[in-house]
Amino acid sequence: MWCKDHGMTVTISNLDLSLHIGRIAPMPHAFPELRKVTFDGEKQISTLKVFNHMNIPSLKDLFLVDCRVWDTVSLSSLLQRSACQLEQLVLQTTDATHTTGVCTGELLILLRLTPTLTTLVLTQLLPNAITDALLEALIAQDATPAVLPVLTALVLAGIYLFSTDQLLNMLESRTTPHNHHGLRTVDITLPSRQVSIPHLQRFSAVMRAVESSSLACLDEARSQVRIQVGKYTPLDWCHNRPVGRGSDSL
């Protein structure tokens, strides 16, 4: 097996796959100490099938960067096989011309398999990756949401098909006093979306209900709106630079 545990953090790149795919063992290889994995598509056609050959029971942080070819089956089998307690999931595109190829149904499958997730970062995905249907599934109907019940940090950036109303419905449901595992950090960037004054007022109420928050959008006159409330959030870097580039490679 070509993979090795490098200080509990590894980066899988497209180059690694092209050089080593022929040497992957037929049975999943265990990485008992591995806690963080970054899959880096490097803006080329890449495959997530490498996860069919891995068992990562201690996995806490999973970064999927520039994954133009999506493979729900491989990711789902990795999570089910590993029975890991994933805490942070980052799906990120670093180049607007190479979007991560996941649709809303596939993303929902992934989220349902990660009930221990506390941090979710979704940046520059396909427009149909986040829809009203996905946000509906994330709405907390009672004190314990059915999907991502312990989510405390959300970063969302990009151009998506969901309505502003549905986004606010989801955020409001997860920032109410009765939700003991509600959101604490919210960072929303909607670069081309015009937001009405009533919606901005609702956003402001959500932002005041959490410890740290940021909103970037357009108002009805298409002027830039940027609102920040609370202390600086370390999740801001997700919008500005690629993740995982400094990690060890397999």
The CA R_g of the chain, rounded to the nearest whole Å, is 18
Per the CB < 8 A criterion, the answer to whether 107 and 137 are in contact is no
Asked if residues 103 and 129 have their Cβ atoms less than 8 Å apart, the reply is: yes
Residue 250 in contact with residue 12, Cβ under 8 Å?
yes
Q: Which of 16-25, 110-119, 164-173 has the lowest mean pLDDT?
A: 16-25
Could you report the per-residue pLDDT of 47-73, keeping only the tens digit for each? 667 788 889 999 999 998 887 777 888
Residue 131 half-sphere exposure toward CB, CA atoms < 13 A:
11
Split at pLDDT 50, 70, 90, the class of 145 is confident
Q: For residue 18, is pLDDT > 90?
A: no
For 9-239, CATH gives 3.80.10.10
Band of the pLDDT at 165, cuts 50, 70, 90? very high
Calculate mean pLDDT across residues 191-202. Answer: 95
Q: Which residue has the higher pLDDT, 112 or 68?
A: 112
Mark residue 222 as left, alpha or beta (left: phi above 0; alpha: psi -120 to 50; beta: remaining).
Answer: left
Greater model confidence, 51 or 247: 51
Interval 198-230: pLDDT, tens:
999 999 999 999 999 999 999 989 999 998 887
What are the domain boundaries of the chain?
Answer: 9-239
Specify the pTM. 0.83
